[in-house]
Structure 1
Amino acid sequence: MYFHAQRYINEIAADEPDPAAANALQEGLGGQFGEMRTMMQYLFQSINFRGAAAKPYRDLIQGIGTEEISHVELIGTTISRLLDGSPRYTGKLTDPLDTPGAGGATPLKIALDESNIHHYLVGAQGALPVDAVGNPWSGSYVYNSGNLPLDLLYNLMLESTGRLQKCRIYEMTDNKTARSTVAYLIVRDQAHENAYAKALESLGVDWNKLLPIPKTNAEQFPEVKELLDLGLQSKQYSFDLEGKSEAGRIFQGMSPSKDGTDLDATEQAPEGVPSTISPERLEEFSPGLDADLMELIQATAEMELADVEAMFGPVAKK
């Protein structure tokens, strides 16, 4: 089972909208080496895992796959923030429909100047399950051979390639919103490189000076350095509520990155930061809840709350 804490795994910095950066980030979300790929690959590998004696390896893959769900949420939300709002739109729910376009300032004209018009035409200024050129995410990206050393090698390659691409995306934009998320993912990709490298070490592989991949001198990126100083590249979370994960039997000892840190798998999950819901995008006619729908939603919520209170007692109200 999976449980959702309504917190983002990392804080998304505030900055101006940047649709071009949003489109670059689509590669890190829905591309061949993006977060949707890592999430699905690791979860399918853990679901299909066989061999009770190798449970620590299953737990390691499953824990990373669970974290990747939060990475999909983080990068998707970041894309949405970068697309948020047409600068010329000032409409309100009470305005006549044509008011926002008065004076020739059409609300979504900005979309015609951007590289991925689907962000506006299809996605209501939000993330899509596609890569940076609009190709849909494909389940054929997922690699699950059933052979443990081969899957671990593939996973290490996937993390390394994803980290390489995110380093390039970081260099493509100086937008604080984009960089805050990309920097976090660069560091966590290194942690996952370390995890799979350590697992392969336990199977007899000697990495010597190969890791991390790529050799980016990532501490030159200030947002990355801040996270490295916290040792985030050497932590792995279990996301295990019952304390049954055995991933710590693998994720321990000196880091394969040879950065002088020791691996730490003692934490269940990062603290995270509060999640928020963005305001409606009226120019997208989305979600477009009118008064009758709002009344219906409120009535439904009150009925559900009454059912909960009948079963569990009064719910505390803030």
Structure 2
Amino acid sequence: MYLHVQRLINDIEADEPDPAAANALQEGLGGQFGEMRTMMQYLFQSINFRGKTGKPYRDLLQGIGTEEISHVELIGTTIARLLDGSPRYNGKKTDPLDKPGSGGATPLESALDQGNIHHYLVAAQGALPVDAAGNPWSGSYVYNSGNLVLDLLYNLMLESTGRLQKCRIYEMTANKTARSTISYLIVRDQAHENAYARALETLGVNWASLLPIPKTNAERFPEVKKLVDLGLQSKQYTFDLTASSEAGRIFQGMSPSKDGTELDGTEQAPAGVPSQIADERFEEFSPGLDTDLLALIQATADLEMAEPAPPLYGPVPPSTGSGTTTK
């Protein structure tokens, strides 16, 4: 099972809105080589895994797949921030919702000629499960052959192609919000390349002669270099609360990237940064809460807070109230 920590895996730097950059980032989210693809592919491979002696490989797939869930959250949140306030509706809350914003601009006018109109028309200035051309994400992207070597080779190719595409997206925009997330994902893609490359090496596969990792020289991007200097490309997390993951038996030794670093698979998870809910978008009627609905939400919250809190982790103890309990 999976538990959620309400923190983003990496900080998103603040900058001006950029709907065109948001649409480019959609490729990194819902494209054929995007984060939704890696998340689903690795989790399905781990779910369908067979062979008890291969547990370290299953744990490696599961740990990376779990991290990819956080990458979907990160890149989706980044897209929403790039769209939020494009332009911001600067009227008063008491103004009619169709009143033009500051300077006479129609609040959603940019939707007609920038980025993906569905970001505004369908998603209320939020991310969509599509690629940069608007094609819906497809489950047919997922590769799960059941053969460990083939799956690992395919995963290495997937991470390499994903990193290549993110380097191209980086070159498309100077927006700090976009680049902070793109740079982080470029480095983490390299970490996952290292993981699958090392796994193949333990299976006797000379992957370097079969599938050389593309030389993107991404370290020339200043945001990427900062993360590489911290060794983030050589870390892999278990995301395991029970300390039963054996992925560290594979993710160790000198990095296959030949950058002089050693692989480190000892950490459970990164600390992350606080996750914040975005402001309302009045011109999108989002979320559209009026006074009565807000009062109902508060009453429901008060009722829920009156209930005893369950344990942080583990089974919920039986009720000790006057009601019937089961054993």
Range of TM-score over shorter length: over 0.9
Letter in 1 for 2:288: G
Amino acid at match of 2:8: Y
2:186 corresponds in structure 1 to 186
| Range 267-276 or range 98-107, more displaced | 98-107
Which segments of 5 or more consecutive residues in structure 2 lack a partner in the other structure?
Answer: 310-318, 322-327
Of all paired residues, the percent bearing the same amino acid is 82
Alignment root-mean-square deviation, CA? 1.8
Q: Distance in 1 between matches of 2:260 and 2:211?
A: 13
The residue number in structure 2 matching 1:266 is 266
Match of residue 11 from structure 1: 11
Q: Cα deviations across residues 142-188 of structure 1 (Å, max 9, x unaligned)?
A: 11111110100110010000000001001111110000000000000
Distance 1:52-1:88 versus aligned 2 partners, 3 A rule: closer
Is the CA contact 1:91–1:282 (under 8 Å) kept in the aligned structure 2?
A: no
Contact between 2:143 and 2:151, CA under 8 Å: does it hold in 1? Answer: yes
Match of 1:289 in 2: 289
Question: What is the CA-CA distance between 1:252 and the residue it aligns to?
Answer: 0.5
* 1:107 positional shift: 1.1
Map 1:219-258; keep pairs closer than 5 Å: 219-258=219-258
How many Å separate the matches in 2 of 1:220 and 1:66? Answer: 29
User: How far, CA to CA, are the matches of 2:193 and 2:212 in structure 1?
Assistant: 7
Q: Name 2:315's counterpart in structure 1.
A: none
For the pair 1:26 / 2:26, whether they are aligned, the reply is yes
Provide the aligned length of Structure 1 versus Structure 2.
312
Shift of 1:285: 0.7
Matched residue of 1:236: which SS?
Answer: coil
The match for 1:162 is: 162
Match of 1:184, as an amino acid? Y
TM-score by length of 2: 0.92
Match of 1:70 in 2: 70
Q: Tell me the TM-score normalised to structure 1 length.
A: 0.94
Per mean C-alpha deviation after superposition, the further-off stretch among 301-310 and 194-203 is: 301-310
Q: Which amino acid aligns with 1:300?
A: T
Query: Cα–Cα, structure 1 residues 101 and 174, in superposed 2: closer, same or farther, change >3 Å?
Result: closer
Q: CA deviation at 1:229?
A: 0.4
For 1:211 and 1:226, the matched residues in 2 are separated by 27
Matched residues in 2 for 1:262 and 1:14: separation?
33
* Cα distance change on mapping 1:60 and 1:102 into 2, 3 Å: closer
The code of the aligned residue for 1:7 comes to R
Question: Within 2, Cα distance between the matches of 1:49 and 1:201?
Answer: 19
Distance 2:103 2:152 in 1: 59
- Report deviation, 1:304: 0.8
Q: Find the aligned partners of 1:104 and 1:228 in 2 and give their Cα distance.
A: 46
Kept in 1: contact 2:187–2:232 (CA 8 A):
yes
Structure 1 residue runs without a partner (length 5+): 313-318
Return the alpha-carbon distance in structure 1 between the equivalents of residues 167 and 320 of structure 2. Answer: 51
